[in-house]
Amino acid sequence: MEKYEKIRVVGRGAYGTVHLTKRLHDKKLVIIKQIPVEQMTKEERQAALNEVKVLSMLDHPYIIQYYENFLEDKALMIVMEYAQGGTLFEYLQQRNGNLLDEEEILQFFAQMVLALRHVHSKQILHRDLKTQNILLDKKKQVVKIGDFGISKVLSSKSKAYTVVGTPSYISPELCEGKPYNQKSDIWALGCVLYELTSLKRAFEAANLPALVLKIMRGTFAPISETYSEDLRSLILSTLYHDPLKRPHINQIMAQPLLINPIMNLHTDMGRIPCTRVHRPLSSLPATARGRMSIRGSHVLARDSLSGKPTTLSSVYCWGGGLNAPVKLPLPSSDTQVMQVAAGRTKKAAVTRNGRLFVWESLGVGEGILPGTSTEAPSFVPRYLEGQSAVVIQHVACGDLFTACLTDRGILMTFGSGANGCLGHGNFNEVSQAKIVEALLGYEVVQVSCGASHILAVTNEHEVFAWGRGDNGRLGLGNQETQCTPQPVPIPNNLSARSVHCGVDCSVILTSDNKLLCCGSNRYNKLGMDEVLVGGEPTPVHSVEEVLSFSPVMTLPLSSLAVKEVAMGTSHTALVTVDGRCFTFGSNQFGQLGVQATSDDDSCMPRCVDSLNDLLVCAVACGDTFTVAVTREGRVFSWGKASRGRLGRRDGETSCPHLVTFSGEDPFTVISLSCSHGNTLLATKPISRATSPLE
């Protein structure tokens, strides 16, 4: 320290003390960070040395300059540049709510971009970029990025794993404990830019779990319209949940919005080269930008011969008073529906670009007096509220609630909280989609809703269940109701591929195409009765309900390789890997697809013979009817026909009957869903794509 004169202590941190000192040979003010090393663990010493290593690799006018380091009094001394203007955080706090001009914001931001580009060019992640670590010169015009104490040097273009950083600025992938790279710094940079425009953090909460929820939902206060659309679009682009969709630092530099601020900076770097990028947001015409969401633009398909717009997808509905398939309205002509879900009171869909919307009914399908009917109900599509920066990939509907799954494996629920169906630890109603906190540490890949319970399966083949528990439908070995997700034991080390909820029962389809069932076995709808092959149809052992997931017992179910399964109120249908359709359970209304007879008490599984010449790829069950789709895109229904359940006006039929769609071009089926007396069917023109149901 003989070369320096201590002036005062300007800060104290977790690792040591920060002194303002004067360098004696040139009277220059410098900062010395004093880090005691004797009492430190090996990891703490490594963190201190890491800052020295990182700083020594960096040399840039907008990064705090490193001078030297030395050991003295059993402490590591790091000598760095002194920024007299304090932190950017302090500067914004002193504004007293007065917003910065866009020109000043861009001047600050351009310097940060150049500094971060230099950091990333050295294969370094900052990992703690925030306004408290961005310093200013005396005139508060020049930015200096500092505090590289937890930075990481990547040996290659790999990803890091350690969860570090200040909570308000950490990216969604860090929240989920997933590997990350430079795109996490881009997220933090976007948070800083938002703070420059709003004078407050994008994500703030009273505690860490609440903060993580806000980050994962991607919800923040709107950006002031005082600022240009280009600037607001730039902020949104940096806050994509999917890191692959966030711009690279060179793409940010290439934004026309930033070119002039960068060129006007007085640096010794010379002219800054800008990387050409493909259609940056702000280079699009204003009319095109106005149609863009955070997920990107919609593309309207056109017929290759006529040049006329073509329909990307259609959704049909029947039942509930609709006696024939009715095409439901979509939010826009370029909406491309990828999956639909039907509940007793809900009809929902997910689009290709990750938007979730529901159809609200504006009419009632039956009259006041029995046997009378009113005009057919009309439906209006409405997007899910509060879905900013969240990409939905799957939806499931219960009686009065909905569950949706993001592309990051985060499960969200909303609607009625009766029976604890929402999984939030209470029985409260939730109007907007809310993350199921208990599953934040898991990557959920599929979810299914019953009338009053939910099952979810993770990428590690773990199964969780919650909601109403009577009949043992949760598979937890008891009949207790659960308002938070509970891990479900799976027998014999089997792994779950998908989960399926009925009204009062549940099924797990395993990775080796076998069925595990629990809940009510009324009418042997779970195939749990033991029946002698070739003997009397009366079961040797009849099972009323099963409290834990167990293999099916009724032959030939235990020997089938099952691809799809669906449950109605009192029957079940499945599709085998080789395209055959089997049904079992009650056949009171012909819902098994065979003629109902007086000796049907056995409820034996049977193949739907009339479909044997066709390859069935999907099946769904309503309360007393069944719908099947073949690989050729033909749709069949059978069972009880009242209130349009079968998509036609005539009566019950135990024979599969082709559902007709008048005046429509050939299509492939994308998604099928039934609930109680309703059916939803999503399709694409046959020339557009092959059905994913295959």
Residue scoring higher pLDDT (479 or 214): 479
Q: Tokens standing for 537? A: 């149809």
Domain with CATH 1.10.510.10 in the chain: 88-286
Report, at the CATH architecture level, how domain 314-685 is classified.
7 Propeller (2.130)
- Sequence-distant (≥ 6) Cβ neighbours of residue 178 within 8 angstroms: none
- Based on the number of CB atoms within 10 Å of its own CB, is 607 exposed (0-12), middle (13-18) or buried (19 or more)? middle
C-alpha dihedral, 661 to 667 to 669 to 674, nearest 10°:
-10
pLDDT in the model for residue 268? 40
What's the pTM?
A: 0.59
Nearest to 216 by CA among 280, 178, 163, 172: 172
Tens-digit pLDDT profile for residues 519-549? 999 999 999 998 765 545 555 678 999 999 9
The Cα–Cα gap between 567 and 674 comes to: 10
**Is the model's pLDDT at 77 over the cut of 70?**
yes
Question: Residue 267: what pLDDT?
Answer: 42
Q: Where are the domain boundaries for CATH 2.130.10.30 in the chain?
A: 314-685
Q: Which of 392, 393, 577 is nearest to 497 (CA)?
A: 577
pLDDT of residue 126: 77
- Burial label for 667, CB within 10 Å (0-12, 13-18, 19+), is buried
- Amino acid 158: pLDDT: 37
622 vs 57: which has the higher pLDDT = 622
CATH superfamily of the domain spanning 4-81: Phosphorylase Kinase; domain 1 (3.30.200.20)
CA angle 555, 600, 646 (to 5 degrees): 100
Q: What is the pLDDT of residue 374?
A: 46
Q: Residue 693 has what pLDDT?
A: 58
**551 confidence band (pLDDT: 50, 70, 90):** very high
175 band by pLDDT with thresholds 50, 70 and 90: confident
Domain 88-286: CATH superfamily is: Transferase(Phosphotransferase) domain 1 (1.10.510.10)
Q: Tell me the helix, strand and coil percentages in the chain, rounded to 5.
A: 20, 30, 45
In sequence order, what E strands does 398-521 have?
401-406, 411-415, 430-435, 444-449, 453-458, 463-467, 482-487, 496-501, 505-510, 515-520
pLDDT reported for residue 550:
95
d(CA 564, CA 561): 10
Nearest one of 431, 439, 428 to 382, comparing CA atoms = 431
DSSP 65: P
What is the pLDDT, as a whole number, of residue 542? 85
CA-nearest of 450, 485, 487 to 470 is 450
653 or 478, higher pLDDT: 478
Whose tokens are 């030395």? That residue is: 70
Split at pLDDT 50, 70, 90, the class of 492 is confident
- What is d(CA 373, CA 320) in angstroms, rounded to the nearest whole number? 11
Structure confidence at residue 15 (pLDDT):
63
Question: CA dist 156 to 58, 116, 161, Å?
Answer: 18, 18, 14
Closest alpha carbon to 458 in 37, 176, 63: 176
Spatial separation of the C-alpha atoms in residues 111 and 255, rounded to whole Å: 14
Element holding 215 (H helix, E strand): helix 208-217
Residue 443: what pLDDT? 85
Query: 325-354 b/e with 16+ CB inside 10 Å = b?
Result: bbebebeeebbbbbbbbbbebbbbbbbbbb
Q: What is the three-state SS of 536-598?
A: CCCCCECCCEEEEEEECCCCCHHHCCEEEEEECCCEEEEEECCCCEEEEECCCCCCCCCCCCC
CA 58, chain centre distance (Å): 37
Q: Is the pLDDT of residue 288 over 50?
A: no
Mean pLDDT of 377-389: 74
CA separation (Å) from 100 to 187, 238, 358?
21, 20, 40
Task: Tell me the C-alpha to C-alpha distance, in Å, between residue 373 and each of 101, 367, 645.
Answer: 62, 4, 15
- 156-170, 243-257, 644-658: which is most confident: 243-257
- The distance in angstroms from the start CA to the end CA of the chain is 74
Q: What is the mean pLDDT of the chain?
A: 81
Residue showing tokens 């095409």: 327
Q: Say which residues have a Cβ less than 8 Å from residue 139's Cβ, sequence separation at least 6.
A: 85
Tell me how far apart the alpha carbons of residues 218 and 446 are, in angstroms, rounded to a whole number: 21
Work out the pLDDT band at 108, boundaries 50, 70, 90. very high
| Percentage above 90 pLDDT, the chain | 42
| Residue 684: alpha-carbon gap to chain centroid | 24
Could you tell me the CA-to-CA distances from 645 to 318, 324, 591, 594, 653 in Å, in that order?
Answer: 7, 9, 11, 17, 11
Position 451 scores a pLDDT of 94
Q: 297 vs 153, which has greater pLDDT?
A: 153
Residue 46's pLDDT band (cuts 50, 70, 90): low
| % of the chain surpassing 70 pLDDT | 80
Catalytically active residues are: 128
Span 584-597, pLDDT tens digits: 999 999 999 987 66
- Tell which residue, 292, 333, 297, 296, has the closest CA to residue 313: 333
Amino acid 160: pLDDT: 40
Size of the chain in residues? 694
Query: What pLDDT sits at residue 649?
Result: 67
Kindly indicate the confidence band of residue 395, based on its pLDDT and cuts at 50, 70 and 90.
Answer: very high
At residue 502, the pLDDT reads: 95
| Locus of tokens 């929820």 | 213
How much is the pLDDT for 285?
A: 34
Q: Are strands 75-81 and 124-125 parallel, antiparallel or unpaired?
A: unpaired
Sequence-distant (≥ 6) Cβ neighbours of residue 456 within 8 angstroms: 403, 411, 439, 444, 446, 447, 448, 463, 464, 465, 485, 499
**Residue closest to 313 by CA, chosen among 350, 360, 362:** 350
Average pLDDT over residues 614-640: 94
How does residue 366 score in pLDDT terms, banded at 50, 70 and 90?
very low
Which SS3 state, helix, strand or coil, does residue 198 take?
helix
Confidence of residue 259 (pLDDT cuts 50, 70, 90): confident
Assigned token pair, 639:
């069972």
Query: How confident is the model over 448-458, as a mean pLDDT?
Result: 96
3-class state of residue 12 by DSSP:
strand
Q: What is the mean pLDDT of residues 329-339?
A: 91
The DSSP annotation for 245-305 comes to GSPPHHHHHT-HHHHHHHHHS--SS-SPP----SS-GGGS-HHHHHT-BTTB-----B-TT
pLDDT of residue 479: 96
Cα 589 from Cα 639, distance rounded (Å): 5
